[in-house]
Amino acid sequence: MNEQSKKCLYCQGDNDEDDSNCRHCGMALPEKHPQDKRSKISFFIKAFWAIVIFCVIMMFYLPR
């Protein structure tokens, strides 16, 4: 799948980026694909900062 295409969640067919319905099965294409690289990076950044904040809080909270 290249950068200019969307993959259909139902039939896994490739479609152009500006299509609103799949050319193969006719189902509506999602605005954001669940396995989109940007959504994975966004989730990673949120999880990373949550873990960092948790660790800093625990450094001060836990007895020495």
pLDDT digits (tens, 9 = 90+) for 5-62: 788 888 988 888 888 899 999 999 888 766 667 778 889 999 999 999 999 999 999 8
Give the tens place of pLDDT for each residue, 38-47. Answer: 778 889 999 9
Q: Are 29 and 22 in contact (CB under 8 A)?
A: yes
Alpha-helical (H) ranges within 1-64 are: 37-61
Residue keyed to tokens 């294409």: 29
Residue-averaged pLDDT of the chain: 85
How many other C-beta atoms can be found within 10 angstroms of the C-beta atom of residue 52?
10
Is the Cβ–Cβ distance between 25 and 8 less than 8 Å?
Answer: yes
Using the predicted structure, report yes or no on whether residue 1 has a pLDDT greater than 90: no
